[in-house]
Chain A
């Protein structure tokens, strides 16, 4: 299963064919890359300059998660090059199209960056190494098998000769690529698997890192946009004269049927002019939509007859009917905004025969397809130049802001225009974490064993909105993330003889999207908090209760045991400190956490987190630790504060004053156990988010006896009665 926006290949091939795209068509590199293109590539992944600089091409986007460094480590490992000479560059989506998708998937989401491309990027590095060695061997007229490469130096021991990659790279580029390349056993890795420093840190400390929002092009103008504040509303009318003639304003344009933009010299001028311009909106029936009406619809789904089944064993309903003891609870999870630090933006330059976009995107190929569609030009006449993202978290897998930028630029051909969203635009026009409710019913037999579990999720489907073509007979398989019987992406670890996990799809007018962790976030709260409730109902320790049920899933159990051991579960905690735990599987990886909290006069403090991750292989353990620590910030921000509400068809939270997030003073100490079992490839950026909230919620119960079944915590009084 794929959860993140995936390039729709079928649509794309059709439009490419219509454009008469021929293989080998060369789309020039962006300016920066063009200079490097003067050096011929050894292959698509590797360029080596005469001064031995190694340029590794990275197709996936860097948004902080460290994929650039990790992928470069994998290529460099097989290339056996000098790591200190490694730099990277992005090929463009247009080049990928023109070269028959030689770099394969650009989409960066679903924690797939490394796990899904590791094999072909390693093969790219290995093939380049073989070609470089062959080039040296040809020059020396010796068999390649007698030559060795290490640290960018090739040697022929028998004759004592040596050369460097930079000296033979041009000759290597003319050789045919080897057909079969063997990859190293990860046990022999010296660059991959090591906690190397990131390749992109220094520019992020001195202001020289260029984000999409910082792009400057000759003659560039800026645009501010106002999209309908009413859900799916349309522009009825607007009075352009109120903005025209204002300082710095060049043009007022309508953008599609739902937005108006002001184009001008600077952002402050366009934003101010736009704010002073009256616009009438038509919200249709959606003006009747509020959080209450949505909650009522979800509640109805909890008891609905019809539902899609995601996991089934035995006969849960019958077993529940005859259970000696039953426990029931209803949980809810709200809409949440991604709130990337860099608001959405894109810069577009349109002419009658070409359209180019410069932007931060998690999905370069989708952005290219949208660019071409909005421009009304063949894909071959468009390209997208990717910039590192000021946060992505799934938001920038969507290309709505790219489409808008092109639609604006099209109304001023020949002028590059940077479309900048305000924070308010960003927060009120997100693709939100889907809202859901869940009713859990469990039955114990007379011996006190968990005999039956029914988990009914009533929620909005992301796929139904974003990729309806990926629904399976109407069912959204992604809603069962971490709950399926056997998906390698994330399966349910608990063995319950009579099990039913089903989903009532209840879609709302609020557009949903992939939000870091996606459906694992609420699924883990539902399962792990309810397991805690069941342990207490059964009078058992929450760890022992889980261990017994996880016995058939040793990898789930291993991470749970690891955090319990490290945290000292079962031993007395410091005075006033209470513990909670959670485990889950997502994005192919196994994660668990113990949270230590105190609640004093209703004031929660999360003191310490012990977290474990088994991602199969650990390409850069230092970056995994950072992703895990960061996941607690993202996940606990959601648990403490994250909530977007709807009133009369409008999203109510507009900025960080009403949509609060965690800051330094609330950051617990996070101890990360990186425990790769080295027998699979799992993701890292997302899985840990899922255990953050339930571990803390379970610890709050331990501290207060209060079972919080509805986040965010800001809406609850934690004072003990």
Chain B
């Protein structure tokens, strides 16, 4: 049994310790907002926060995060109030198909925690998630909007 704290709730899961955190979140914990895109930490669709740090959950075994606070897209809102990044995403109509956006939003939320007013260069360096619909222009606008909210 592995002890896991996801979105503030601690639970024990009966899972192979090598199982990637992504699949534990999706198939054992049952939260499907975190997406599978590549499985090799290339695309970022699976990004979650581990102790506040944006991490690609497809490439980290669940056994490595037993003592950590894991936050998924479902846990980003506080007391029912969407995170400023989520608000900016809605205000600027960022998503197209939306599949990459959970990971994108988690990556951006972590960036803004470190750098509340990121420059375009900061954004380029920190946000390396793949979006095949090509929402990058709206993502950039929404990051700046969230930063000045």
A657, B42: Cβ atoms closer than 8 Å? yes
Give the complex CA separation of A4 and B81 in angstroms. 43
User: Could you tell me if B96 and A630 are in contact, using CB atoms closer than 8 angstroms?
Assistant: yes
A629 to B94, CA, bound (A): 12
What is the minimal beta-carbon distance from A630 to any residue of chain B, in angstroms? Answer: 3
Number of chain A interface residues as a range: 35 or more
Contacts of B45 in A (CB 8 A): 341
Find out whether the CB atom of A391 lies under 8 angstroms from the CB atom of B74.
no
Cβ contacts A to B, 29 pairs, < 8 Å = A64-B97, A201-B93, A201-B94, A202-B90, A205-B101, A205-B105, A206-B76, A206-B77, A206-B82, A207-B32, A207-B34, A207-B102, A213-B36, A216-B32, A266-B28, A267-B26, A341-B45, A341-B99, A341-B132, A388-B98, A390-B98, A423-B39, A632-B134, A633-B133, A656-B40, A656-B43, A661-B130, A664-B140, A667-B137
Contact of A268 among B27, B30, B72, B102 (CB under 8 A): B27
Q: Determine the chain A residues whose CB is within 8 A of the CB of B54 once the complex forms.
A: none
Complex contacts, A88 vs chain B, CB 8 Å: none
B139 contacts across to A, CB distance below 8 A: 664
Complex CA distance for A210 and B86, rounded to whole angstroms: 17
- From A63, A207, A633, A637, B72 is in contact (CB under 8 Å) with A207
Please report the C-alpha to C-alpha distance between residue A207 and residue B129 in the assembled complex, in whole angstroms.
17
Given A266-B23, A655-B42, is A663 in contact with B128 using a C-beta cutoff of 8 Å?
yes
- What 1/0 mask marks residues of chain B from 100 to 128 whose CB sits below 8 Å from any chain A CB? 11100100000000000000000111011
A contact residues around B134 at 8 Å (CB): 629-634, 662
Interface residues of B (CB under 8 A from A): 16, 19-20, 23, 26-28, 30-40, 42-43, 45, 72-74, 76-77, 82, 86, 89-90, 93-102, 105, 123-125, 127-140
Give the residues in chain A near B123, CB-CB below 8 Å: 664
Q: Is the CB of A268 within 8 A of B19?
A: yes
Set of chain A residues within 8 Å of B27, measured between Cβ atoms? 222, 266-268
Asked whether A667 lies within 8 Å of B136 as measured between CB atoms, the reply is yes
By the criterion CB–CB under 8 Å, are A626 and B38 in contact? no
What residues make up the interface of A, taking CB atoms closer than 8 Å to B? 63-66, 197-198, 200-211, 213-214, 216, 222, 247, 266-269, 339-343, 388-393, 420, 422-423, 622, 626, 629-634, 637, 655-657, 661-665, 667, 669-670
Among B37, B129, B134: residue with most chain A CB under 10 A: B134
Partner of B138, one of A206, A207, A340, A626: A626
Q: Are B95 and A201 in contact (CB under 8 A)?
A: yes
Chain B residue, CB-CB nearest to A427: B38
Interchain CB contact (< 8 A) of A201 among B20, B90, B99: B90
B40 close to A629 (CB less than 8 A)? no
Q: A266-B27, A268-B19, A391-B97 are in contact. Are A207 and B36 (CB under 8 A)?
A: no
Given contacts A391-B97, A664-B139, contact A206 B74 (CB under 8 A): yes
